[in-house]
Amino acid sequence: MRYKDLHVAWAYFFIHLLVELVCFTLLFRMYSLKLAWTAAIVYDLVAFVPQGLIGEFIRRHPRFDIGSTGVLFMTLSLFLLPSGIYALHILGIVSLAFGNALLHEAGAVACVAAGDGKLFHSALFVGGGSFGVVIGKTIAAYGFSLWFLLIPLALTGILCFWIRKEGFSSKTEFPLYKICNERYPGAILLLAAFFVTTARSFIAYAIPISWKKEVWQSFVLFFLMGMGKALGGYFADRFGARRTGVLSSLLCIPFLLAGKDHMLVSVIGVFLFSMTMSITFAMCLSVLPDAPGVAFGITTFALFAGLMIPFCFGDPGAVINTAAVIVLSLVSALLLYQTTIDKEEKKCEQE
């Protein structure tokens, strides 16, 4: 299997890594216990919800330098977040989250344009975020000067400037991602993708873990999560979206549940459950082929919805979390089985 223009995906892999590194270093250093709940809600709301609108803006205005704009907003937050003035502090969170959203959408649209109809490009791009999250949390814990973040911000700006020459124009024809069962109307397919993504977001919170006590263990966890996201796209390209999505959703269940006290078992489950990321995005792309930014925005809105469940209702307890992992994984597998197809099925339909 040959992939074209993987340098675009690799560039946005590192951009995504650097973006999350900056965001999580700032957030974990700047959160006060008094403002933690408000700050988290504001950040997640701004970072996840408006991405579809941003993506449509990118498509309609391809010459606008969205990457550099995102870097500017994130750099501004570096000056606003440390402020002792409540309004400026919240404005800094908004600026950081909006810059994050801009760079996410820039990467999503660019990787679809360069993806040649394959899932691995977008999966590789999104996988970079997991590495950035754990590096950012570690930097925050060890108390590095916040001015250190000017380095990853500068690197992000350089990468955005370099990769911009690979950008698309108003005449770009986005490739088709036909992985959906066309017997179902588009609205049903989008709802299925939204549910599976929301379920994955909540499961990430509900996974029973008691072993994560050392920094290196967090690195292993997030490393395997990022690898799962990236390789999920590769396996979907190689073996089919339906087969990859259904098997990973089912196989992750025993590993996630049995791995509460066993790191090796748990991270295998995390690796498997992360693999559906690119599949749900491609489902949205199958329905919205000319609007990749909106398609990506649907998945980020679903991630926000999954995050809001524990925010709104608190920790339901180990029993309910365990039941949620089982039920949501099974329902996700069923939905993916019904709404996606593999390459072999696609060939049969064409014949």
pLDDT (0 to 100) of residue 1: 65
pTM of the model: 0.92
pLDDT (0 to 100) of residue 33: 44
CA distance 119 to 127: 12
Q: Which residues of 192-225 are buried (b: 16+ CB within 10 A; e: fewer)?
A: bbbbbbbbbbbbeebbbbebeeeeeebebbbbbb
pLDDT (0 to 100) of residue 326: 95
pLDDT (0 to 100) of residue 17: 97
pLDDT in tens, 18-77: 999 999 999 888 765 445 667 788 899 999 999 999 999 988 888 889 999 999 999 999
pLDDT (0 to 100) of residue 31: 66
pLDDT (0 to 100) of residue 120: 96
pLDDT (0 to 100) of residue 345: 53
Residue 215 CB partners (closer than 8 Å, separation 6+): 138, 141
Task: Tell me the torsion sign for CA atoms 10, 271, 243, 321.
Answer: negative
pLDDT (0 to 100) of residue 35: 53
Region at 143 (left for phi over 0; alpha for psi -120 to 50; beta for the rest):
left
pLDDT (0 to 100) of residue 21: 96
Domains of the chain: 1-170 (1.20.1250.20), 178-351 (1.20.1250.20)
**In which residue ranges of the chain is pLDDT below 50?**
33-34, 347-351
Contact status, residue 255 vs residue 207, Cβ threshold 8 Å: no
